[in-house]
Amino acid sequence: MKLNICHLYPDLLDLYGDRGNILALAARCRWRGIEPVIQQASLGEELNFMEMDILFIGGGSDREQGLLVQDLMRREDQLRGAIENGLVVLSICGGYQMLGNYYQMANGEKIQGLGILDIKTIAGEKRLIGNVVVELDQYGLNYDPDDVRTMKASAHKLRTLVGFENHSGKTYLGEGVRPLGKVLFGHGNNGEDKDEGVRYRNVFGTYLHGPLLPKNPHLADLLLELAIQKRGWKTDLNELDDHLEVLAHEAMLHKLLKQA
Ligand code: GLN
């Protein structure tokens, strides 16, 4: 069995080590006998999102986001269609922002977004930087409250996400989307409404760098489960020994929430 994983703009949106998420997904595939087929694409390079199972877009500076916006706009229709068809997307920070309506930078200039997610981002006076703990709401790992698919990942013992944020953009959610959860430590989407991240169908956006997935194996496995479900495979993911990942996750919970 193979899963096609695409890393979009790895040369531009690579400022915070987010490629570690690709390494984590690939490892968790291999540990289960699934072959991860990793494809990269950047400016001007052709890509068929309909052939992808998981799309990853990392974070970067305002400058890089401005450089890629035209190329990204060119891909809007196909990406929108693939997302409506169940493409699994993990987008981090700048990559997350670009899926929304726009990103208004500190100088007032607006970078147009794809408008696939009803979110908007406006740069604040100060950068939101630091460790983050997010409490997943009871639906955080299931997009639709009525979603009766028994997601193993949603039954995972970890009910939080941990990571690191560094952004000037403050993101506000609109219609048809939901946050991943509530901030217990740190700022999250905007440092105001305690929301962090976004979920729309199989699309996940978050401000959490780290990289995110090594310390959040339950989210990594949810992305893989959703991709396998989309493929219609009659199999599910066997359990992995995540004791080291859980230890790292819980060390952050102890460090930060004891401080909080
Ligand atoms: N340039 C964007 C901001 O400052 C995104 C930063 C990032 O990707 N960490 O909000």
Q: 93, 156, 187, 249: which one is catalytic? A: 93
What does the pLDDT average to over 224-232?
94
* Pair 203, 150: CB distance under 8 Å: no
Q: 156, 187, 209, 249: which one is catalytic? A: 209
Ligand 1 atom closest to the CA of 58, numbered from 1: 8
2-33 residue pLDDT tens: 999 999 999 999 889 999 999 999 999 999 99
Q: Which of 85, 216, 204, 226 is nearest to 150 (CA)?
A: 226
95 alpha carbon to ligand 1 midpoint, in Å? 8
68 alpha carbon to ligand 1 midpoint, in Å? 14
Catalytic site includes residue 167: no
The Cα 27–Cα 192 span in angstroms is 36
**Which residue's alpha carbon is nearest to atom 5 within ligand 1?**
94
Sign of the CA dihedral with 139 first, then 189, 76, and 14 last: negative
Ligand 1 atom closest to the CA of 61, numbered from 1: 1
39-91 residue pLDDT tens: 999 999 999 999 999 999 999 999 999 999 999 999 999 999 999 999 999 99
Confidence of residue 157 (pLDDT cuts 50, 70, 90): confident
Residues contacting residue 15 through CB under 8 Å, at least 6 positions apart: 58, 59, 60, 61, 64, 94
108 alpha carbon to ligand 1 midpoint, in Å? 15
Catalytic site includes residue 93: yes
Ligand 1 atom closest to the CA of 165, numbered from 1: 9
The Cα 16–Cα 132 span in angstroms is 15
Q: Which residues line ligand 1 (CB under 6 A)?
A: 16, 59-62, 65, 93-94, 166-169
User: In this predicted structure, what is the pLDDT of residue 45?
Assistant: 98
All domains of the chain in start order, with CATH: 2-259 (3.40.50.880)
**Which residue's alpha carbon is nearest to atom 2 within ligand 1?**
94
User: In this predicted structure, what is the pLDDT of residue 26?
Assistant: 98
179-212 residue pLDDT tens: 999 999 999 999 999 999 999 999 999 999 999 9
5 alpha carbon to ligand 1 midpoint, in Å? 23
